[in-house]
Amino acid sequence: MPTSTDHDLTHITPRDQAEILAQALPYIRRFHGKTLVIKYGGNAMTDPALQQDFAEDVVLLKLVGMNPIVVHGGGPQIDEALAKIGKKGTFIQGMRVTDEETMEVVEWVLGGEVQQDIVGLINAAGGKAVGLTGRDGAMIRARKLKMLDRDDPTKELDVGHVGEIVSIDPSVVKALQDDAFIPVISPIGFGEDNESYNINADVVAAKLAAVLKAEKLLMLTNIRGVLDKAGNLITELTPRRIDELIDDGTISGGMLPKLAGAIDAAKSGVNAVHVVDGRVPHAMLLEILTDQAYGTMIRSF
């Protein structure tokens, strides 16, 4: 667990500090003016010390000329809010069943409480964050997700107000970026009859990165990255290698949907997708501004 000593740099000599900054310079130059989409979730989102690290990293990236965009989840916070009204979250095939009442909770938890916490953290760290949902600027158009039964693909399962993306209009995000703001986006879309939809945050982050032709998509997770069968970190992957690892069972479970979005983004023009260990203090900064791998990078080729 990170402590205040993690932020104490007094043991580093001024010469070493200068060396660290000099090593970051080529990366700062290379990514200056580029868009970075960051999926924020896991421990990084719930541990107070890691929350502060994250906010500082986002502000620093903006200050050195990059354009970070944050897309956040909030599963644990939604479960907590549902428990307060005596409702238990139910899942089908890993997907939250979102009835009318649950959708109302999702909207005020994601678009209200969680989003504003993140906006506040970034602003306190010296940035200028602005919270958005998919409704703002008509950004995320969605439709009801058609989910087929795994055991009987002829059968469709009803998971309520869970959506899939029809289109993303990034003009409101671009306008905010140009005015030096940091967009913080809740994964809520709207349908043709103005109904709200809860959308998987990994999917929103991947699709937004593709639409914006982002330089990087960073997905903060609670794992070290993609591991081989011996438990060693795989620092770099291509879509072809991922297919091989899925076929031989190395990659399975919850990592599959995350990588599906990552591969789509990589194939759609995002130069690199990073699955980053969000439990490591400043992991995002270390992944972008150093040679050291703090996760798995997926290239499009």
Number of other CB atoms surrounding residue 146 within 10 Å: 11
Whether residue 194 is annotated as binding a ligand: the answer is no
Bridge partners, residue 218, by sequence:
38, 274
Whether residue 271 is annotated as binding a ligand: the answer is no
The pair of three-digit structure tokens given for residue 186, joined into one six-digit string: 């809740």
Q: Which long-range contacts (CB under 8 A, 24 or more apart) does 50-53 make?
A: 50/2, 50/278, 50/279, 50/281, 51/121, 52/121, 52/125, 53/2, 53/281, 53/282
Whether residue 253 is annotated as binding a ligand: the answer is no
Interatomic CA distance for residues 129 and 38, integer angstroms: 14
Whether residue 112 is annotated as binding a ligand: the answer is no
Interatomic CA distance for residues 160 and 144, integer angstroms: 8
Annotated binding site for substrate: 74-75, 96, 198
The annotation places the binding site at 74-75, 96, 198
